[in-house]
Amino acid sequence: MFGINGPEFLILLIIGVIVIGPSRLPEYTRKLANLVKELRRMASGAREQIKEEVGIDIDEVDWKKYDPRQYDPRRIIKEALLDDDTKPVSAGAPVAAVAVETAAEAPERVIERLPVGEKAPFDSEAT
């Protein structure tokens, strides 16, 4: 709870009792009890309202199905890549042969280099 462990909470409780004092302690204890009761009443009211509006009981929902931690992108990509449902491009051509032929037909990329000492052109519309 808020990064406070047991001994720290006990020290804060003792300091609170000293600051509040023994004369006002019963009053603040009653206020805390009323606050907890009110929060429980509000939570049960919200649960009933959701049940009325949605029509399902919250306890019956399978929350594991909606857990985003189960959707590991690495696992999904690995399953998609290892999936054997590949179809050939044409009825007689295997997939690997078609990929090699298309790679051989691609034109070679030509890279033009600037002469030594020449500055690169600046395009003001590029940014």
Per-residue pLDDT of the chain (127 residues; tens, 9 = 90+): 567 888 898 998 888 888 888 888 889 889 989 999 999 999 999 888 888 887 766 677 787 888 888 788 888 888 888 876 655 555 555 555 445 555 556 677 888 888 999 988 888 888 6
Is pTM, for the whole model, over 0.85? no
Q: Which pLDDT value is given to residue 97?
A: 47
CA 43 to chain centre: 25
List the structure tokens of 41. 């009443």
What is the C-alpha separation between 57 and 12, in angstroms, rounded?
A: 39
Q: Which pLDDT value is given to residue 104?
A: 57
Q: Which pLDDT value is given to residue 91?
A: 57
